[in-house]
């Protein structure tokens, strides 16, 4: 039995509010299934499970705000074989403890609650509840069932006060129901009924509230400050002649339905993905040392209308065709603007691109999103004079900048990358 914990959806996330459960107890979960919708500073995010399991029961309710890492639900993994036969939890928790001391030790941070789901079901798994030794002895003495108590101690452990409260409240031994059961009584947080929370979701699909924007702003501020503080940035720039690329896009789009048309951004993404072959050290993270990443997941900065940024990732961009990348953008950008991104999309980037688009500054000097080690900035494409085959020509020129983490790479790597990027953009049909 495992617990599904509130995931971290960004380096600076501290807590999330459960808005809606998407699965019920008893449901079979596959990897990639959305189990819940959680609201964070980054907006409403769909949370996925990453393994096959059965949703056993909820540990928190819709509307609850819990810190990252807090248990949200109990999952029963199907792959765990039967262990020690179930003990009746009423008899001698002390004995149970002594067994626990040998195998598991009293360190709270390590223990994962495995649970027999009820006395009705003869489960083969060992019963283990996180409770202080004192709480256990008191519970044993007064015949209090620790099974359904909510712990207020460190890491959710049941402590003396919790047992005494249970005794004072005169709780009978709770029946184990698929829903939260006795937990509902112990947790006094639930306020609105279910319909209200659904309405909250509906209102969120339109423009975001000012409060939401402030927290996105705050999240961006925190990440950028950290980046500036921790990462020694170096900057390289290259001017790229975009005539070939723009012509290719124009030609391609001419022959397509409007809904199939490509934007230059797609070429940027694909070209960056391919250019990383020449400089794999830029597709990496820094965690006390450089850790290369196999996948090329390109984070694409999307600015929100009311301010703030979201950076969802286009996964495996090196293996996607330009059409597939355009499809990914078509799918992701509207969801980003509506603050409806999935947890895996927001936490997977191995490198980031920021593109100002037209009518903006000529070039952009980006700030790296830790723990990534690079960010590529695409400025606006403006007509500029340059020399082509010995003659002066006016060409659409794009100024590309690379900001690199100087702990991870140096100018040579960056230059190589920009060189490769240029080459790819000169041969758009090969992208």
Partner 1 sequence: MTRDEIQSAIFELLKKTAPDTDPTNLKPDENIRESLNIDSFDALQFLVALNDKLGIDIPEEDYGKTATLGSLTDYLEERSR
Partner 2 sequence: MSDIKITYREALKAGIRDALLKEERVFLMGEDVGRYGGAFAVSKGLLKEFGADRIMDVPLSEAGFVGAGIGAALAGVKPIVEVMTVNFALLPMDQIVNNAATLLHMSGGQINVPLVIRISAGIGKQLAAQHSHSWEPLFAHIPGLIVVSVGTHEDARGMLHTALEHPDPVIIFEYTSMLNLEAEIPADAGPTNISKAKIRREGKDISIITYGIGVYKALEAANRLSEQGIDAEVIDLRVLRPLDEESFIRSVTKTHRALLVEEAWNTINISSEVSARIMEKAFYELDAPVKRLGGIEVPIPYPLHLENASVPQVEDIENAVIKILRP
**CB 249 → partner 2: shortest distance, Å?**
57
Please report whether residue 383 would count as binding partner 1 according to CB under 8 A: no
| Residue closest to 299 by CA, chosen among 272, 279, 281 | 272
Binding partner of 265, given partner 1, partner 2, none, CB within 5-8 angstroms per partner class: partner 1
Contacts (CB under 8 A) with partner 1, residues 78-107 = none
| Type and span of the H or E element at 351 | strand 351-355
**CB 153 → partner 2: shortest distance, Å?**
6
Distance (Å, whole) CA 23 – CA 55: 8
The answer to whether the CB of 59 falls within 8 A of the CB of 74 is: yes
Contacts of 143 (CB under 8 A, 6+ apart): 90
Of 22-30, 54-62, 147-155, 245-253, the segment contacting partner 2 by CB under 8 A is: 147-155
Of 39-47, 104-112, 183-191, 353-361, the segment contacting partner 1 by CB under 8 A is: 353-361
Of 35-43, 216-224, 326-334, 399-407, the segment contacting partner 1 by CB under 8 A is: 326-334
Distance (Å, whole) CA 311 – CA 353: 9
Which contacts (CB < 8 Å, 24+ apart) does range 166-169 have? 167/142
Binding partner of 160, given partner 2, partner 1, none, CB within 5-8 angstroms per partner class: partner 2
Of 24-32, 133-141, 250-258, 314-322, the segment contacting partner 1 by CB under 8 A is: 250-258
The answer to whether the CB of 34 falls within 8 A of the CB of 48 is: yes
Q: Tokens standing for 25? A: 């107890």
Binding partner of 137, given partner 2, partner 1, none, CB within 5-8 angstroms per partner class: partner 2
Distance (Å, whole) CA 121 – CA 109: 28
Please report whether residue 107 would count as binding partner 2 according to CB under 8 A: yes
**CB 171 → partner 2: shortest distance, Å?**
20
**Counts of helices then strands in the chain (DSSP H, E):** 11, 19
Of 215-223, 237-245, 255-263, 383-391, the segment contacting partner 1 by CB under 8 A is: 255-263
Can you tell me which of 259, 387, 389, 390 binds partner 1, judged by CB under 8 A? 259
Residue among 128 and 136 whose Cβ is closer to partner 2: 136
Please report whether residue 137 would count as binding partner 2 according to CB under 8 A: yes
Q: Is 169 helix (H, G, I), strand (E, B) or coil?
A: coil
Of 152-160, 173-181, 233-241, 413-421, the segment contacting partner 2 by CB under 8 A is: 152-160
Distance (Å, whole) CA 368 – CA 347: 14
**CB 338 → partner 1: shortest distance, Å?**
10
64 φ, ψ to 5°?
A: -75, 140
The answer to whether the CB of 348 falls within 8 A of the CB of 45 is: no
Can you tell me which of 67, 82, 106, 307 binds partner 2, judged by CB under 8 A? 106
Contacts of 293 (CB under 8 A, 6+ apart): 283, 284, 285, 350
Distance (Å, whole) CA 315 – CA 268: 15
- Binding to partner 1 by CB under 8 A, coded x per residue (else -) over 181-220, reads -------------------------xx-------------
Binding partner of 135, given partner 1, partner 2, none, CB within 5-8 angstroms per partner class: partner 2
Distance (Å, whole) CA 38 – CA 288: 31
Please report whether residue 112 would count as binding partner 2 according to CB under 8 A: no
Can you tell me which of 109, 254, 289, 390 binds partner 1, judged by CB under 8 A? 254
191 φ, ψ to 5°?
A: -115, -75
Can you tell me which of 5, 333, 362, 423 binds partner 1, judged by CB under 8 A? 333
Contacts (CB under 8 A) with partner 1, residues 277-316 = 303, 305-306
Distances, alpha carbon 185 to alpha carbons 58, 165, 367, in Å = 14, 12, 48
Please report whether residue 411 would count as binding partner 2 according to CB under 8 A: no
Can you tell me which of 201, 265, 290, 327 binds partner 1, judged by CB under 8 A? 265
Sign of CA dihedral 341, 304, 301, 65: negative
**CB 162 → partner 2: shortest distance, Å?**
10
**CB 340 → partner 1: shortest distance, Å?**
15
Contacts of 153 (CB under 8 A, 6+ apart): 108, 132, 135, 159, 162
Of 64-72, 132-140, 253-261, 295-303, the segment contacting partner 2 by CB under 8 A is: 132-140
| Residue closest to 61 by CA, chosen among 111, 25, 91 | 25
Residues at the site binding partner 1, with contacts judged by CB under 8 A: 206-207, 249-250, 253-254, 257-259, 261, 263-265, 303, 305-306, 329-330, 333-334, 357-359
């Amino acid at each position: 039995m495992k617990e599904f914990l509130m995931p971290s959806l960004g380096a600076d996330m501290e807590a999330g509010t459960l808005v809606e459960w998407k699965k019920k107890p008893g449901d079979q979960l596959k990897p990639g299934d959305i189990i819940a919708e959680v609201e964070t500073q980054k907006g409403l995010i769909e949370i996925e499970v990453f393994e096959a399991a059965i949703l056993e029961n909820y540990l928190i309710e819709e509307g609850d705000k819990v810190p990252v890492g807090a248990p949200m639900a109990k999952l029963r993994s199907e792959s765990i074989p039967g262990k020690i036969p179930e003990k009746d939890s009423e008899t001698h928790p002390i004995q149970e403890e002594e067994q626990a001391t040998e195998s598991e030790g009293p360190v709270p941070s390590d223990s994962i609650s495995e649970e027999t789901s009820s006395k009705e079901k003869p489960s083969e798994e060992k019963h283990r509840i996180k409770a202080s030794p004192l709480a256990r002895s008191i519970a044993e003495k007064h015949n209090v069932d620790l099974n359904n108590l909510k712990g207020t101690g460190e890491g959710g452990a049941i402590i003396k006060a919790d047992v005494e409260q249970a005794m004072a409240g005169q709780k009978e031994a709770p029946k184990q129901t698929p829903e939260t059961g006795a937990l509902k009584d112990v947790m006094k947080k639930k306020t609105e009924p279910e319909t209200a929370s659904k309405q909250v979701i509906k209102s969120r699909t339109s423009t975001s509230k000012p409060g939401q924007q402030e927290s996105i702003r705050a999240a961006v501020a925190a990440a950028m400050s950290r980046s500036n503080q921790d990462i020694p940035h170096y900057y390289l720039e290259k001017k790229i002649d975009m005539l070939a690329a723009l012509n290719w896009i124009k030609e391609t789009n001419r022959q397509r339905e409007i809904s199939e048309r490509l934007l230059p951004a797609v070429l940027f993404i694909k070209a960056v993905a391919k250019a990383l072959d020449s400089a794999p050290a830029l597709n990496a993270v820094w965690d006390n040392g450089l850790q290369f990443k196999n996948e090329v997941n390109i984070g694409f900065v999307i600015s929100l209308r009311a301010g703030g940024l979201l950076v969802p990732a286009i996964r495996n961009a090196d293996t996607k065709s330009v059409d597939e990348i355009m499809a990914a953008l078509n799918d992701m950008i509207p969801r980003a603007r509506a603050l409806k991104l999935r947890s895996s999309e927001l936490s997977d980037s191995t490198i980031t691109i920021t593109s100002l688009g037209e009518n903006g500054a000529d070039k952009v000097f980006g700030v790296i999103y830790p723990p990534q080690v690079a960010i590529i900035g695409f400025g606006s494409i403006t007509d500029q004079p340059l020399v082509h085959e010995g003659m002066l020509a006016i060409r659409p020129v794009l100024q590309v900048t690379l900001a690199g983490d100087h702990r991870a790479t140096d100018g040579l790597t960056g230059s190589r990358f920009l060189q490769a990027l240029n080459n790819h953009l000169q041969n758009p049909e090969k992208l």
